[in-house]
Amino acid sequence: MIQRMKLRTISSDVKLGANVTLHNYVNLYGCEVGDDTKIGCFVEIQKNARIGKSCKISTHTFICEGVIIEDNVFVGHNVTFINDKYPRATNHEGDLATEKDWQVRPTIVRKGASIGSGSTILCDVTIGENAVVGAGSVVTRDVPPDTIVAGNPARFLSHLESSLPGERAETQHGSRGRSQRRKPSSA
């Protein structure tokens, strides 16, 4: 009989909500994960990070100290959060840097946002409610609510507007600056 390997490292100071799904090879310490959230394989969530309810954190994602992810957020595969503006290996005396040699810089991902696979989210930014960050983006500044951004650095692509309940339609700016409504794709 083949035994399933779990190899999970979950420290005793982790606060897990009800019905949290943890896949193999996760590393959680000092963090908080809300009810009904799914954490994929090879995810690390550090101390003082907070994940809300009904989130999906996909495989190979790194969520560092100082990150707050609100409810209903999707985080794609291999997303990396950053919490230090000027990382250094050593302090002014030349010794290896410790926690007292730097300050955690916060990042907030608001309710309902989606972050595409392979994105890097720098510190001191807020990703607005229901915003979408395209795959492979590097987010260097705040993302307004209900917008789509993509690229390196991530730039505004379009607004999202409510269409039918549970759906969103994109609104892009045409060449003359007028908004043009696009129907949601069926794909």
What is the token pair recorded at 76? 């794609």
Question: Can the peptide bond before residue 145 be classed as cis, meaning omega within 30 degrees of 0?
Answer: no
- 92 noted as active-site residue: yes
How far is it, in rounded angstroms, from Cα 137 to Cα 121?
A: 8
Residue 145 CB-density burial (10 A; 0-12 exposed, 13-18 middle, 19+ buried): middle
- Residue 119 near residue 137 (C-beta atoms within 8 A): yes
- Residue 20 near residue 35 (C-beta atoms within 8 A): yes
Q: Which of 60, 77, 92, 159 is catalytic?
A: 92
How far is it, in rounded angstroms, from Cα 83 to Cα 92?
A: 20
Secondary structure (3-state) at 12: coil
Token pair 């100290």 is found at: 65
What is the token pair recorded at 23? 């896949």
Catalytically annotated residues: 92
